[in-house]
Each structure stands twice: as C-alpha cells, then as structure tokens.
C-alpha cells in the first residue's frame, strides 16, 4: 500500500443540466445538486487511491458528512480539493472542500474502508440467498 496522510487530489467538473437538483430529484431548481457534490467527493477519494492499494484490494465508502453552503448555476465549473487526513488500519478519512468560481460551496469529510474486493462481493451476494 502506497498511501500517506497528506496525499491530495483536485477533481473538477462543469455543472450541466444533468448535475442539477431538478434533474436528480433532490430539489426543483436548476442548480448543482447536493447528490452530485457528494459523488464528486467520492470520485475524488477513489481517484486519489488509484494504483496505490495492494492487489485485490479496493475501498468502499462508509460515511459522508458534507455541508452544501452555496448554490452554483449551470455553466459554472466546480472543483473538489480532497486530501487524506487519517489512516487507521483499514479506515481512511478524507477532508474535502468544494469550490466554484466565486468561492466555497461545500465542505466536509468522507470515510472509506479498505476491503478485499472478492470477499466483499461474495458477502454481498449472500443476500441473494
């Protein structure tokens, strides 16, 4: 495993109609949706870990605590700055700040756990029986 506290990444996307609250059903307005913001945070954390875990290992998201503090209209660029703040055995904690061209629109934390991909899927599939 090649991850260290302080590892960071920046991930950006343009707010399109498909990323709005009106489209996602999380509200009625054509502004950047909170579910889209939380997905950006998760994507950033996953991208940060890409190629850094031992073979056969992956991570799963277990907790998101994100405050969405400002609306962003269609056409604006949003950027997530995500950095790893804690490693506690298999638990990874990330801090994220999401900005648009006028400043902060979101802030929070995200938790992921390192798991063995095959056994995790096997356990999930047991729910089908």
- The pLDDT of residue 113 is 98
Active site residue 42: yes
From 13, 35, 16, 15, select the one nearest 24 (Cα to Cα). 35
The pTM assigned to this predicted structure is 0.95
- The pLDDT of residue 87 is 98
Which is the catalytic residue, given 68, 72, 110, 111? 68
Tell me the CATH number at 59. Answer: 3.10.129.10
Average pLDDT, integer, range 107-124: 98
- Look at residue 71 and tell me if it is in a domain: yes
Residue 61, marked binder: yes
Chain segment 52-73, per-residue pLDDT in tens: 999 999 999 999 999 999 999 9
- Look at residue 2 and tell me if it is in a domain: no
Active site residue 110: no
Q: What share of the chain is helix, strand, coil (3-state, %, to 5)?
A: 25, 45, 25
From 87, 96, 83, 104, select the one nearest 32 (Cα to Cα). 104
Active site residue 83: no
- Look at residue 1 and tell me if it is in a domain: no
CB-CB contact of 32 with 78 (8 Å): yes
- Look at residue 106 and tell me if it is in a domain: yes
- Look at residue 13 and tell me if it is in a domain: yes
Q: What proportion of the chain, given as a percentage, has pLDDT over 70?
A: 100
CA–CA dist 55, 39 (Å, integer): 25
Residue 112, marked binder: yes
Which is the catalytic residue, given 34, 58, 79, 109? 34
Domain around 41: 8-128
Chain segment 98-107, per-residue pLDDT in tens: 999 999 999 9
The structural domain count of the chain equals 1
């Amino acid at each position: 495993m090649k991850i260290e506290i302080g590892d960071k990444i920046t991930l950006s996307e343009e707010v399109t109609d498909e990323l709005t609250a009106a489209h996602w059903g999380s509200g009625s307005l054509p502004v950047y949706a909170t579910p889209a913001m939380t997905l950006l945070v998760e994507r950033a954390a996953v991208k940060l870990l890409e190629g850094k875990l031992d073979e056969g290992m992956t991570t799963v998201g277990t907790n998101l605590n994100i405050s969405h503090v400002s609306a962003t209209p269609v056409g604006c660029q949003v950027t997530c700055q995500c950095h790893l703040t804690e490693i506690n055995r298999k638990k990874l904690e990330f801090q994220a700040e999401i900005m648009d061209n006028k400043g902060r629109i979101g802030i929070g934390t995200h938790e992921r756990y390192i798991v063995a991909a095959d056994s995790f899927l096997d356990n999930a599939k047991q729910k089908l029986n």
